[in-house]
Structure 1
């Protein structure tokens, strides 16, 4: 499993530097060009025109489910102290016949079987989207919202997962692993801007403003083995993230791993610089654990991306069920 002491030490160093007034921490959260009340960042790039344009190009053939399954024992951040996924039965046909919770009698329970279940999970499990409050800098998140003013016992009053609109946009997969002739990138591999550009060139693809850009490392092939999936994953570099947003115009960035960025961090004063750059400074949501294996197999690099997350009020993330629809 990933050694969380790396994170803890880097976080401690950042906090100490801040207390000492170190000038090393120069990063600040971004202010939205969409106004002081903006809570969705670059998702403002979705317009009626952009939705219509991409939906009008769908070929009507095959669709690709980009979500993973949730199951007991699935990859999770247990090493960081977060709860694993749990599912249990609240009602079973036999149990209902015995306890008769609806008070309808044995004959009715024998005739009408009743099955019910419940789940418990960390918000950052399975295919999910990070809201803009997931990571911040110096007590603030995207657009200058301060935790002291907007974070209560029941979550954030701004930028919660319930504020994220359905995402309908052009999607582009950048298959870095395939471009390198690999099934999967090596452990701890840090994807660079050069890697992304070479993969785009190999695919004959280009980026456009407002894209949902998804990076394939091949790590999804380990998904059924939580230990292998979570251990020392590859991820994005800061330069690669900047390339996607500042040069490519990406609206949302995603990948097929859970950490998204590679560890240990490239910077001494920030243990998750890619997350804070995208979420807190650029207002770009992150989608993690995207299953890109089907797209990779069929070499589908451009598509309509359609996905809506659950409306977890005040939450910093929520499950999302994205679908890729190839274009004409």
Structure 2
């Protein structure tokens, strides 16, 4: 006789739990099966429009050079070994038909180090990632079963660099300095650029150019960046990617009221917008360029969460 109320209570609890999960999970505007998010904005029309920004025929790497000394978000690291297989003691490889010799390399590394792209399976909330992807279903130790970086098509579009250091009246912003919608709009107006749907928006804070070599410990211990309000503003514009010349794009320590790296959740989980970290923005700005054609084709290792990258600015 007492089992029915208990069963009814259990059912009610289950329904409440389902409602909570539903609130944590919002289906993508590109459909329940979508796994590439804002990469859907890569279209022939947008690519051709971006190509029109090439005026000087110049190209500039947006990635930085990294090595085993490059600081990274703990416990990430990199180790490179150059080897000469079967050539000990100066042996030559006569099977080549000549006295050949060659170098190979072995890389042991976290792929979220240096200049990198964060895929849509990187940061979530309450056990969910982009488009209701459940961590229990996608987070295999051998690689993501959904949302892997290998599935991202080449990201090609209009790139824009906003000089937030200049907007703040500084050579470079300090750790914890943050900016939101008003500051982003002011920087864009000062530079005479308009942010558009499908843009790759990069922020120049001066942090990496001024701190990485001079004080690498301080560089990786804090940073300036975009606050949650700013992330939501860019998401409302339907941009393709958001990046910065910092290792995490958001301010550390966080802006008052913001969770640490919660902008990642807003961009990646809630909106399917990619994040580009430690971008080499200074040289492009010093060339007098605010907008350019952005091209990225990342390494396609199945199931990866992030990837070391070197996008190219063409202008």
Global fold match (TM > 0.5): yes
Match of 1:115 among 78, 83, 103: 103
Call closer, same or farther: CA 1:146–1:67 in 2, change over 3 Å: same
* Aligned residues of 1:73 and 1:226 also touching (Cα < 8 A): no
Alpha-carbon distance in structure 1 between the residues aligned to 2:91 and 2:239: 54
Q: State the partner residue of 1:139.
A: 127
Render the CA deviation track for 1:121-169: whole Å, top value 9, x for unaligned. Answer: 1121111100000011111110001111222221111110101110110
* Aligned residues of 1:252 and 1:286 also touching (Cα < 8 A): yes
* Aligned residues of 2:299 and 2:307 also touching (Cα < 8 A): yes
Match of 2:217 among 222, 227, 247: 227
Alpha-carbon distance in structure 1 between the residues aligned to 2:223 and 2:21: 27
Q: State the partner residue of 1:148.
A: 136
Call closer, same or farther: CA 1:231–1:264 in 2, change over 3 Å: closer
Matched, 1:30 2:21: no
Normalization by structure 2: what TM-score? Answer: 0.86
* Aligned residues of 1:75 and 1:226 also touching (Cα < 8 A): yes
Match of 1:296 among 269, 285, 288: 285
Q: State the partner residue of 1:90.
A: 83
Q: State the partner residue of 2:116.
A: 128
Render the CA deviation track for 1:269-292: whole Å, top value 9, x for unaligned. Answer: 943311111000011010001000
Alpha-carbon distance in structure 2 between the residues aligned to 1:25 and 1:278: 19
Tell me how large the CA RMSD over aligned residues is. 2.7
* Aligned residues of 2:38 and 2:272 also touching (Cα < 8 A): yes
Alpha-carbon distance in structure 2 between the residues aligned to 1:72 and 1:269: 32
Q: State the partner residue of 2:248.
A: 259
Call closer, same or farther: CA 1:167–1:34 in 2, change over 3 Å: same
Alpha-carbon distance in structure 2 between the residues aligned to 1:151 and 1:223: 32
Q: State the partner residue of 1:281.
A: 270
Render the CA deviation track for 1:79-120: whole Å, top value 9, x for unaligned. Answer: xx23x111112228xx82517495759x96xx4332222112
Query: How do 1:192-271 and structure 2 match up within 5 A?
Result: 192-221=180-209, 222-224=211-213, 225-246=215-236, 248-266=237-255, 270-271=259-260
* Aligned residues of 2:175 and 2:252 also touching (Cα < 8 A): no
Alpha-carbon distance in structure 2 between the residues aligned to 1:249 and 1:41: 11
Alpha-carbon distance in structure 2 between the residues aligned to 1:238 and 1:176: 16
Alpha-carbon distance in structure 2 between the residues aligned to 1:88 and 1:28: 44
How far off is 1:193 after superposition? 1.9
How far off is 1:67 after superposition? 0.8
Matched, 1:182 2:173: no
Kindly report structure 1 stretches of 4+ aligned residues shifted beyond 6 Å: 24-27
* Aligned residues of 1:168 and 1:305 also touching (Cα < 8 A): yes
- Partner SS, residue 39 of structure 2: helix
Call closer, same or farther: CA 1:102–1:226 in 2, change over 3 Å: farther
Point out where structure 2 has 5 or more consecutive residues left out of the alignment.
1-16
Deviates more, 1:56-65 or 1:182-191: 56-65
Which structure would you say has the larger Rg?
2
Alpha-carbon distance in structure 1 between the residues aligned to 2:154 and 2:277: 16
* Aligned residues of 1:237 and 1:274 also touching (Cα < 8 A): yes
